[in-house]
Structure 1
Amino acid sequence: MGIFGSDARKGETASRSDVTMLARIDPDKGVVDLISVPRDTMIDIEGHGTQKINAAYAFGGPSEAVKTLSTFAGVPITHYVEVHFEELKDVVNELGGIQVNVPESFYSDTSGISLEAGEQTLDGDQALAFARERHATRAGDFSRAQAQRMIIEAIVEKVLSKSITEIPGTVESLARCVTTDYSVTDLVSLALTFKDKGLTMYSAACPSYTLNQDGISYVGTQYAEWQDMMRRVDAGLDPTDTSVEIPEPQASDTALGAATNAASPAEYRDLMADALTTDDVVDVE
């Protein structure tokens, strides 16, 4: 499933996706993977040349964004969820707030909201500030992507904390706050399945680094690391556990994580020496 957060404001007809995320949902095993792809990832978009991956949404809406993300990840994407700024606030407020362990303290110039590091309950405005902040955090947009995954995890956990009788109504209410090709019936079924089986959520980001090309700031892909991550994801393993052995047939599947539409340099080790990378985010204990 593709998850896209649009930064469109009122009156705007086109926008870039502020969030680009891949979700692998395995209800049979009770596992969900959330994988962020940095919004500035350097990529080729058919008919538009070298772009940042978030431009796909502006060029062709959810369908183009799904197509671009699917090619980059090397997996089919059958569903999508789209959330706008105000809708995120509505979702969180509908739930009565969410519990999040904020990795680092910051003050948001955009919203005027301050958050201290640590476990706390966020309301809609605070959750939005957390999801948007990149200037006052150590790893910039990489930190922001981490925050966005944490918010999704917290929302899912809050829904699943409801009783079996409460879940259908809660899901139906939240479904009105997002745009998706899932039916409400499908979403309720998924929630009840995970309520019954239990849920393991994995969170990761495409291994990436910042770079500048022709005066434009991009994010480059660490190709070998990305391919191995997607192979672990497909195998149902923790995507961040580099010590685990990747089983067959994933280990020999060249399509997984192939990133055939990526446009950043194929040789990237030296470029990472002085760059900000996805490893620079503050770990959450």
Structure 2
Amino acid sequence: MKQEKSERKSERKSTPIRALFQLLALLSTCSALYFLYQAQLLPIRLFGFLAIGVLLILALLITLSKRYVFVVILLILDTIINLALSFVFYKYNDYFSQFGTHANYHEKYSLVTLADSELAKTGSGEIIYLGLLESDPYLKTVEQYLQNDQSTRTGLLAHTLSASDLVHYENLLTLTTSLINKASVNSGNLKTMLIGESYLESLKENNQEIFAKLHVLQDIELAVTPKTVEVTKNDSLDSPFTVYISGIDNRDHTLPFAARSDVNLIMVFNPKKHKILILNTPRDFYVPLAMNGKLDKLTHAGLYGVNESIHTLENFYGIKFNYYVRINFDATSSVIDQLGGVDVTIPYVVNTYHGRRHYEPGTYHLNGDQALDFARERVSISWAGGDRERGRNQEKILSAMLHKLQTSPNDLNRIDQIFTSIAKNIQTNFTSDDLKYLVQRQLTTLASWQTELIDVDGKADITSTFTYPEPKHFVWHPYQDSVDRAKAKLQEYLQN
């Protein structure tokens, strides 16, 4: 009798504890199922069957736990596993949520004058006439800023200008030439210009003679309304779709709407045939700009906005882009620093333009900035292929990064920081749901994809471009037969 009372008393004490474990198991299971649903790793029907099966098994375990102690232990293990799965699925969702348009709400501009002018020497004076670029994608915003409430402006730009004080120029050469020659404007002379950061950086790299004569009086950040990137969105990711991948040269962790595109890849995905085509178009390809039909280097199209790069390539190859991905080179530098540097073998002498670094043949341990300077170099290796050799060096950097990740497990502990660095330097119209669906489709089909890499070729030349009529620039005149082959291959992959 006493033993029975003792057992009943013990059972009453254990009941609340058992109920707690049952509740924790139920809540953790629901949590894991919720985050799995959000992750969209499984088709909805398969997820439904899985959820019903898991909940039925849990109900059975809860029922049996009233009689058997070992089942309570199973519930505890179930809770631990579910909490771990909830965390994994949560991080998976968080990673994809970081990708997006990352639209810039500010653009950087510089007020520039001649280095030997009184304005440059004193830093004070009145601006009467101001040169602007007609091709600036934010021209109207700039004009409104200069003519509206002067309380929003500081320094030399505090003085309100009228529409007649703003002088428009077709390209950088005519603008800078007018500034240097102090061109007559109405009753005065042009003494200043206001240009975007991308144009100023491009001028620095492409025309040192003119750049050396200039002086920046004032830098401003102009609030802008983000431009819409113009692509033709695909109806379904189950049918062939195109992606434009643009690598821009900008080192301040931003993705401005107007920036030179030094990497221009066209990818065509054919989900039915499980094939991917990657077409590389050299940055120096001499192509007609979409906005005016005038010939220029492909990389310069980006100075007039990403839409100009997109439409120029669409017109050139006779296709439409469904998606775009813009990548800032700065992402590479950040990731390499977080990996503690990478080892790269350099087979020849390299003198980098950026960073002014010198390398003899050998193997080097490079940090982020050093690796990026090496990956961007093309002038001192022009004898080895210039643009093409630079592409090979970029592949070396990527291979070194992957090797470091594979051989240094400790670096996986920094996966959060690495992923964040990558995500904030990527701009795309792929939604998180789009990306999750692509992963889901691959997991459910386990298909093996075939990738084909092609490029287009041309004849080297030194000639004028629309953006820089002078000095003449290195370009590739496209070989029409290579372009025609690329067009045919694009159409082949776009067929279901």
Q: Do the two structures share a fold, i.e. TM-score over 0.5?
A: yes
> What residue in structure 2 maps to residue 242 of structure 1?
none
Q: Pairwise CA RMSD of aligned residues? A: 4.4
**Cα distance change of structure 1 residues 180 and 34 upon mapping to structure 2, 3 Å threshold:** same
Task: Map 1:18-167; keep pairs closer than 5 Å.
Answer: 18-45=262-289, 46-47=291-292, 49-59=294-304, 61-91=305-335, 106=350, 108-111=352-355, 112=357, 114=359, 124-125=368-369, 127-137=371-381, 138-148=384-394
**TM-score, normalised relative to structure 2:** 0.38
Amino acid at match of 2:457: P
The reply to whether residue 203 of structure 1 matches residue 447 of structure 2 is no
Structure 2 unaligned segments of length 5 or more: list them: 1-242, 406-414, 465-471
Residue matched to 1:179: 427
- Quote the offset at 1:221 in angstroms: 0.5
Q: Report the Cα offset of residue 171 of structure 1.
A: 6.8
2:489 partner letter:
R
After TM superposition, give the deviation of residue 78 of structure 1 in Å.
0.9
Query: SS where residue 322 of structure 2 aligns?
Result: coil
Counterparts of 1:49 and 1:133, CA distance in 2: 28
Query: Which residues of structure 1 form unaligned runs of 5+?
Result: 160-167, 237-248, 250-285
Residue 248 of structure 2 aligns with which residue? Answer: 6
Contact 1:25–1:32 (CA under 8 A) maintained in structure 2: yes
**Which secondary structure state, in structure 1, belongs to the residue aligned with residue 247 of structure 2?**
strand
| CA distance 1:67–1:100, change in 2 (3 Å) | farther
1:197 match: secondary structure: coil
Q: Give the greater-gyration-radius structure (CA).
A: 2
Cα deviation, residue 42, structure 1: 1.3
1:208–1:220 CA contact under 8 A, matched in 2: yes
1:233–1:109 Cα change, 3 Å: same
Q: Is the 8 Å Cα contact of residues 31 and 201 (structure 1) preserved in structure 2?
A: yes
Q: Partners of 2:394 and 2:310 in 1: how far apart? A: 18
Q: Which has the higher contact order (CA 8 A, sep 6+)?
A: 1
AA matched with 1:222: Y
How many Å separate the matches in 2 of 1:49 and 1:25? 31
**Conserved? CA contact 1:102–1:117, under 8 Å:** yes
CA distance 1:76–1:63, shift in 2 (3 Å): same
User: Would the alpha carbon gap of residues 188 and 150 (structure 1) be closer, same or farther in structure 2, given more than 3 Å must change?
Assistant: farther
Cα offsets for 1:178-233 (capped at 9, x unmatched): 11111233234435655732343333321222112354322110111221133234
The answer as to whether partners of 1:105 and 1:117 remain within 8 angstroms in 2 is: no
Once residues 77 and 21 of structure 1 are traced to their aligned partners in structure 2, the CA distance between those partners, rounded to angstroms, is 11
Q: Which amino acid aligns with 1:235?
A: E
Deviation at 1:103, TM superposition (A): 7.9
Structure 1 length as normaliser, TM-score?
A: 0.62
Comparing 227-236 and 177-186, the one that deviates more? 227-236
What secondary structure, in the 3-state scheme, does the structure 1 residue paired with 2:296 have? strand
Say how many residue pairs are matched.
235
Q: Does 1:15 align with 2:259?
A: yes
